[in-house]
Chains A and B, each alone.
Chain A
């Protein structure tokens, strides 16, 4: 049988003020694929509630997809998936919003920034 290769992505999930939990997803593995490929696959095939930011998809131009992969801060669009599996989590030095989404919005780009002072 010509079964396609699989690998495992562990995602550290949760919202602020709650105990984070790890969830494992089995995803297709292709040589050279990015972490972002795996995350978008998870959303469109398994669980669309997994939250992460990205915009330019593959170009590393928008810089929105910064997360922690196996303990290292990196961009999901340039970090590679590997056959042994990876663990991904949110940036630790930013306020957690949900799952891999942290507060990276510059304060002056908030419509209600004045109210929050």
Chain B
């Protein structure tokens, strides 16, 4: 086995991981930044279309306490207020730092940053890069910062499969090189898990391919706790039809920010007002409410032809469309879509996970030496995430995780990962390897099935019996299906082996989501139960999960509160 050593191992090289690496390096630590895909190409960050919420007060007066107020309101009582406060207070610092790193935030003619209104915000707060280019722009800027830092070693195609803990402290990790299938032992003073969320566990999702909850499962096995796992955000207006390629299914969000548009049922009638929201061509209805309304219209037989709702921009002049979205209108034309002549169909799509690894304000888990950052962290967003909070969360938490991990490792004693640590997992993998197998769908097929189970049983609208059924099928998949999958014994680039390793994490994470959801007998934020439609004030608590001798245990914890008050909004000087 190959062995490497570093001060800090960062797992996942999206926005949070890259920021953590830069931050740790500037605090004097050496870093290995690993991604099973390619650095800054995989993960969710590069797919961000537009909004980044930060109270920079460039477009109109604002103050981070107002951003916090909106964040807590969206969170339905479950936000960890200390984490939410950090997110809102530090978001402007990170956005301005990214400006120094040449992101190129969109600017008005007067030189001030453009800021748009997004659902759930009370002021124009969200900065962006045109056109629908926020993700690629921030990914490129961070990639540049990472590349020019000699303290950071980049490792694309390195699949970190388990954190190693000795005497209660994280001492490194076991990784498998995706190309060669070679096992690599990584000694590290601290490990930062920044490998994103879990939305690819759902059939309809807006995730990149590796978002199957691997950070959560690794954290569980290392002894850390997860929080709020039942809260999966469905984005209401994901693209449904006609088939469109080369564009993110979330792309209609920016269209609505800039142009409004109208959301209509299968009879071409507005309907959000029947569920307590308003549409009238303005994009204000909260995400959970809009998703629920679309689902209910479908149930009442008023869906669009493919089972969603219509989104129409037909009332908007062609020139206005072109001015707002320039090249994107051309990409739509390549897909034979002309918004002046037709409406498109949209429906809810799994988009983000509010829950995640339980951390303190230093992004530290309960396992010394183990940190988390980005979407992998739970708690800041409570039961629903405010639009635009995901990218600042990646930056703010990434910066903190890197800084605090660096401060800790520079003085800490180091452990060493041993071959024995890797043995159990490798024996298990090897027991699945077979020569001369006939082709099969293997773990990729099992993932396809799991996505259906999650979508139908632990999805947007839940009931007790549905969730119980989902949970029991997931548990069956763990003990029966996954255990009996055979992997062809061939390298290089043994895709089937990588799938098996991924599926092991995906199923563990799916079980955590299903169990947490089954345990919450109320409807709150993104956890909507048809059989119990109201919130229960006694359940304004967080659910915490931990692994004990291989089985998941849950407990309820009081929500973390903190002192804060609204401050006066101010306009930034430029």
Residue ranges of A at the interface with B (Cβ–Cβ < 8 Å): 15, 30-34, 43-51, 53-64, 75, 77-78, 80, 97-99, 101, 103-106, 108-112
Cα distance A110–B34 in the bound complex, in angstroms: 10
Residue pair A56, B156 in contact (C-beta under 8 Å): no
Q: At the interface with chain A, which of B41-49, B476-484, B520-528?
A: B41-49
What are some 13 contacts across the A-B interface (CB < 8 A)?
Answer: A32-B245, A48-B442, A48-B495, A49-B439, A49-B490, A49-B495, A56-B41, A57-B207, A58-B244, A59-B247, A61-B47, A62-B42, A109-B39
A-B contacts besides A32-B245, A46-B441, A106-B156, 12 pairs, CB < 8 Å: A44-B441, A49-B495, A54-B209, A56-B248, A57-B209, A58-B244, A60-B245, A62-B41, A103-B179, A109-B154, A110-B154, A111-B32
Residue in A47, A51, A78 whose CB lies within 8 Å of B246 = A78
Residue in A47, A78, A80, A103 whose CB lies within 8 Å of B440 = A47
Q: Which residues of B contact A33 (CB under 8 A)?
A: 243
Q: At the interface with chain A, which of B165-173, B295-303, B443-451, B561-569?
A: B443-451
Cα distance A43–B498 in the bound complex, in angstroms: 13
Residue pair B244, A49 in contact (C-beta under 8 Å): no
Residue pair B496, A49 in contact (C-beta under 8 Å): yes
Residue of B nearest to A36 (CB): B245
Q: CB-CB contacts of B253-281 with A at 8 A, as 1s and 0s?
A: 00000000000000000000000000000
Residue of A nearest to B136 (CB): A61
B residues 151-195 with Cβ under 8 Å of A?
Answer: 153-158, 177, 179, 184
Residue pair B246, A59 in contact (C-beta under 8 Å): yes
Task: Report the minimal beta-carbon distance from A39 to chain B, rounded to whole angstroms.
Answer: 11
Residue pair B37, A55 in contact (C-beta under 8 Å): yes
Residue in A31, A46, A55 whose CB lies within 8 Å of B210 = A55
Residue pair A77, B245 in contact (C-beta under 8 Å): yes
Cα distance A33–B245 in the bound complex, in angstroms: 8
Cα distance A32–B494 in the bound complex, in angstroms: 30
Residue pair A110, B155 in contact (C-beta under 8 Å): yes
Residue pair A55, B42 in contact (C-beta under 8 Å): yes
Residue in A45, A46, A56, A111 whose CB lies within 8 Å of B208 = A56
Residue in B156, B247, B439 whose CB lies within 8 Å of A109 = B156
With A46-B441, A48-B495 known to touch, is A64 a contact of B245 (CB < 8 Å)? Answer: no
Residue pair A111, B4 in contact (C-beta under 8 Å): yes
With A55-B41, A56-B46, A59-B47 known to touch, is A111 a contact of B246 (CB < 8 Å)? Answer: no
With A55-B38, A55-B208, A56-B47 known to touch, is A48 a contact of B243 (CB < 8 Å)? Answer: no
Residue of A nearest to B243 (CB): A32
Residue pair B441, A48 in contact (C-beta under 8 Å): yes
B77 beta carbon closer than 8 Å to chain A: no
Residue of A nearest to B155 (CB): A111
Residue pair A110, B156 in contact (C-beta under 8 Å): yes
B89 beta carbon closer than 8 Å to chain A: no
Residue pair A48, B443 in contact (C-beta under 8 Å): yes
Residue ranges of B at the interface with A (Cβ–Cβ < 8 Å): 2, 4, 32, 34, 37-39, 41-43, 46-47, 135-136, 147, 153-158, 177, 179, 184, 207-210, 242-249, 335, 439-445, 447-448, 488, 490, 492-496, 499
Cα distance A44–B503 in the bound complex, in angstroms: 13
Q: Which residues of A contact B490 (CB under 8 A)?
A: 49
With A32-B335, A47-B440, A48-B441 known to touch, is A58 a contact of B248 (CB < 8 Å)? Answer: yes
Q: Which residues of A contact B248 (CB under 8 A)?
A: 56, 58-59, 61
Q: Which residues of A contact B41 (CB under 8 A)?
A: 55-56, 62-64
Cα distance A112–B499 in the bound complex, in angstroms: 24
Residue pair B32, A15 in contact (C-beta under 8 Å): no
Q: Which residues of A contact B153 (CB under 8 A)?
A: 111
Task: Report the minimal beta-carbon distance from A66 to chain B, rounded to whole angstroms.
Answer: 12
Q: Which residues of A contact B177 (CB under 8 A)?
A: 111
Most buried by B among A15, A62, A78: A62
Residue pair B488, A111 in contact (C-beta under 8 Å): no
Residue pair A48, B499 in contact (C-beta under 8 Å): yes
Residue pair B493, A34 in contact (C-beta under 8 Å): no
Task: Report the minimal beta-carbon distance from B144 to chain A, rounded to whole angstroms.
Answer: 13
Residue in A32, A46, A63, A108 whose CB lies within 8 Å of B147 = A108
Nearest first, the 9 A-B pairs at minimum CB distance are: A32-B243, A47-B439, A48-B442, A111-B155, A59-B248, A48-B444, A44-B448, A109-B156, A60-B246
Residue of B nearest to A80 (CB): B245
Residue pair A32, B246 in contact (C-beta under 8 Å): no
Cα distance A112–B354 in the bound complex, in angstroms: 36
Residue of B nearest to A104 (CB): B38
Residue in A31, A55, A57, A111 whose CB lies within 8 Å of B243 = A31
Cα distance A114–B496 in the bound complex, in angstroms: 29
Task: Report the minimal beta-carbon distance from A93 to chain B, rounded to whole angstroms.
Answer: 18
Cα distance A53–B32 in the bound complex, in angstroms: 23
Q: Which residues of A contact B147 (CB under 8 A)?
A: 108
Cα distance A23–B505 in the bound complex, in angstroms: 31
Cα distance A103–B184 in the bound complex, in angstroms: 20
Residue pair A32, B496 in contact (C-beta under 8 Å): no
Residue of A nearest to B34 (CB): A111
Q: Which residues of B contact A106 (CB under 8 A)?
A: 38, 156
With A51-B493, A111-B4 known to touch, is A58 a contact of B448 (CB < 8 Å)? Answer: no
Most buried by A among B135, B245, B248: B245
Task: Report the minimal beta-carbon distance from A107 to chain B, rounded to whole angstroms.
Answer: 10
Task: Report the minimal beta-carbon distance from B491 to chain A, rounded to whole angstroms.
Answer: 8
With A32-B335, A111-B32 known to touch, is A97 a contact of B445 (CB < 8 Å)? Answer: no
With A47-B441, A54-B209 known to touch, is A61 a contact of B46 (CB < 8 Å)? Answer: yes
Task: Report the minimal beta-carbon distance from B199 to chain A, rounded to whole angstroms.
Answer: 11
Q: Which residues of B contact A109 (CB under 8 A)?
A: 38-39, 154-156
Cα distance A32–B334 in the bound complex, in angstroms: 11
Cα distance A59–B448 in the bound complex, in angstroms: 20
Q: Which residues of B contact A59 (CB under 8 A)?
A: 47, 246-248
Cα distance A64–B39 in the bound complex, in angstroms: 11
Residue in A30, A44, A99, A105 whose CB lies within 8 Å of B38 = A105
